[in-house]
Structure 1
């Protein structure tokens, strides 16, 4: 028979051991090192990026806003395809700025939010797919942002634009 005086001690021991027995989520993967900033993207290169992104959007039947920014987030070029909703102007720009400012695609933040390792409001970062880095000579020359469809569609268009520089 259990003495009443020992019951609180046993309860405390069981509660203290509970977290040790609980399943824990695996540690998040360490992100790959991000490239350093390099020279600024030129207008001619930005036009190449936008043309490739627009071609992908048209091929898929989507309308998009496509924005290219310098490494510091300054606007180089913005294109709104006919029929794209007005709200996509700001979203595409913010996706491009997020990628440039944080040196990673916006999908990184989306996955971190989904995994519970990052608050969805992280210093103004857009935590949705559609912002990609523009890499020239192994360094960040700017970023591209796309908006107008789902996050996955925006990401597909932005990646097509970024691939045009490779």
Structure 2
């Protein structure tokens, strides 16, 4: 057998083996869970302004100080683009990314992140659903009945983060 024919045979055997190995694994892969529709999800509207974001962050920070918690608070536009992020002195560094991702999740999926957290707990959504952070602390900013952006808070427990995010969101309703 020629060298060229031998290499072709080896390649064919390798491809066939790969198909046999991958075939059963692919057949056993469960389909991705669809995101359940949020009840009464408002439409997207205009983007939150910097002045409004400052109001949101100030209200969230005031609640965090009242509770004695150190937080990172982030505000994004409806498309998830950053408007403002504030890290309180002493807040953990890891909360910078988490607060941003909570705000993005809320804006991108038109619902609070607590919705995903509850869906995971209830077994109706995989915990690693692509693109969503399933931890309480992301809330929508609703202005004139439309989504103007979202706030994300991180630094405490999910429930603490949610309280802070809701306090901020309430400042522009």
TM-score tier, shorter chain, comes to 0.7 to 0.9
Structure 2 gaps of 5+ residues are 1-35
Provide Cα deviations, 1:98-129, integer angstroms capped at 9, x if missing partner.
Answer: 00000000000000000000001112200000
* Number of positions where the alignment pairs a residue of Structure 1 with one of Structure 2: 138
1:33 Cα deviation from its structure 2 partner: 2.1
**Runs of 4 or more off by more than 3 Å in structure 1?**
none
Query: Could you tell me the TM-score, scaled by structure 2's length?
Result: 0.78
> Could you tell me how far apart the structure 2 residues matched to 1:72 and 1:54 are?
24
Query: Could you tell me the TM-score, scaled by structure 1's length?
Result: 0.81
Correspondence 1:76 to 2:76: no
Structure 1 gaps of 5+ residues are 1-28
Partner of 1:55: 62
RMSD: 1.1
Correspondence 1:122 to 2:129: yes
1:89 Cα deviation from its structure 2 partner: 0.1
- Indicate if the aligned counterparts of 2:58 and 2:168 stay in contact, CA closer than 8 A: yes
- Indicate if the aligned counterparts of 2:72 and 2:88 stay in contact, CA closer than 8 A: yes
> Could you tell me how far apart the structure 1 residues matched to 2:48 and 2:38 are?
25
Correspondence 1:163 to 2:170: yes
1:30 Cα deviation from its structure 2 partner: 6.8
Instruction: Specify which structure has the higher proportion of helix.
Output: 2
